[in-house]
């Protein structure tokens, strides 16, 4: 029962470096999401995807790019990391949209520190 798996779990970057977070789900879910979690601010949606080959902006998309080349994978990229992107990143997936019956399944999180 892998569910939603995120890699890496921890990463330290220097300002200006780039990196990619990988999210993989084995539940055949159509929808996938990337959130960031900051103290006292709850979770904020960065980007999401409603199916293979599609992506859309969430609440805080600036400084991030995403790709959904395969249904089971959703990649989050930082092209030029900034200290403001220090956060815990969560990937989630759902069988349908976050509508009335929608339930999100979350990964364990990836802690990113940008120095």
Say whether residue 102 binds another protein (CB under 8 A): yes
DSSP-derived 3-state class of residue 85:
helix
Question: H or E stretch including 20?
Answer: strand 19-25
Q: Give dist(CA 7, CA 109) in Å, integer.
A: 9
Which range in 17-25, 37-45, 62-70, 75-83 contacts another protein by CB under 8 A?
A: 37-45
> In the block, which residue shows the tokens 């992506």?
55
| Residue 53 binds to another protein (criterion: CB under 8 A) | no
Query: Is 63 a binder of another protein (CB under 8 A)?
Result: no
What is the binding site for another protein (CB under 8 A)? 4, 31, 40-45, 48, 50, 56, 58-59, 90, 92, 97-109
């Amino acid at each position: 029962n892998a569910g939603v798996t995120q890699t890496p779990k921890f990463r330290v970057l220097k300002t200006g470096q780039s990196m990619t977070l990988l999210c993989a789900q084995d539940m055949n879910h159509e929808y996938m999401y990337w959130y960031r979690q900051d103290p006292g601010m709850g979770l904020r949606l960065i980007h999401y995807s409603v199916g293979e080959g599609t992506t859309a902006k969430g609440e805080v998309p600036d400084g991030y790019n995403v790709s959904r080349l395969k249904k089971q994978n959703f990649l989050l990229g930082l092209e030029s990391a900034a200290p403001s992107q220090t956060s815990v990143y969560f990937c989630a997936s759902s069988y349908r949209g976050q509508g009335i019956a929608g339930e999100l399944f979350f990964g364990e999180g990836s802690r990113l520190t940008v120095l």
